[in-house]
Amino acid sequence: MSVPDIPALAGVHHLKLPVTNLARSREWYHSRLGYQVQIEFVEQGQLMGYALTHPNGGPPLGLRLNPERALAAAGFDYFAIGVPGKQAIDQLAAWLTALGEQHAGVHWASIGWILPELHDPDGHEVRFYTLQHHTAVGLPISSIRPSAATSVIAVTRTASPVGMPQKTSMSAALTASPSWQSPVPQPTKARYVG
């Protein structure tokens, strides 16, 4: 498919989660992450959902009353919310800890840093991932294979999606540098690499 043939898209419009209790979820997303109600959705006289906005860069979020689907969706990380960089994700982790929220802390991951295992009142995993990268990725397709035995990432670039053969290989040593100023990371469990 050539570039002119590709449909025009404009990012993620909003994320939507099923919840068992609208008031509880609204309060949690407000008190933990700063989300504010923008729209209430009332259907046949019953409040069925909220559209939430974030005053400091978070994606729009919808909460929809649907207890059955909320239970089925519990525990899975459907999305990761972007955080500008390492310092911001460290501050977020400290903020959540101060509020008494359990999470797995900030970890080095495939291309940035991740803050996983925060769960909302319905058990949805809310993950945060830095937009700041420590590994070069891009088109053509990159395959990332972190090695648990070393502090090296192997990044392999293969043929582009349009079939143009372009294959290169590189390794990036993960040592402290001015671009991301972090010590050599310890190997992480696979669940944090995503």
Structure confidence by residue, pLDDT tens digits, 37-87: 999 999 999 999 999 999 999 999 999 999 999 999 999 888 899 999 999
Cβ(86)–Cβ(180) below 8 Å: yes
Is residue 149 over pLDDT 70?
no
**Section 9-17 average pLDDT:** 90
- Pairwise CA distance, residues 57 & 55, whole Å: 6
CA atoms 5, 8, 14, 20: torsion sign? negative
Structure confidence by residue, pLDDT tens digits, 162-178: 443 333 333 333 333 33
Task: Note the pLDDT of residue 180.
Answer: 33
Reading the block at residue 43, the tokens are 């259907």
Lowest mean pLDDT among 24-28, 35-39, 122-126, 167-171: 167-171
**Section 137-147 average pLDDT:** 62
- Name the more confident of 25 and 6: 25
Predicted model pTM:
0.71
Mean pLDDT of the chain: 79
Task: Note the pLDDT of residue 11.
Answer: 84
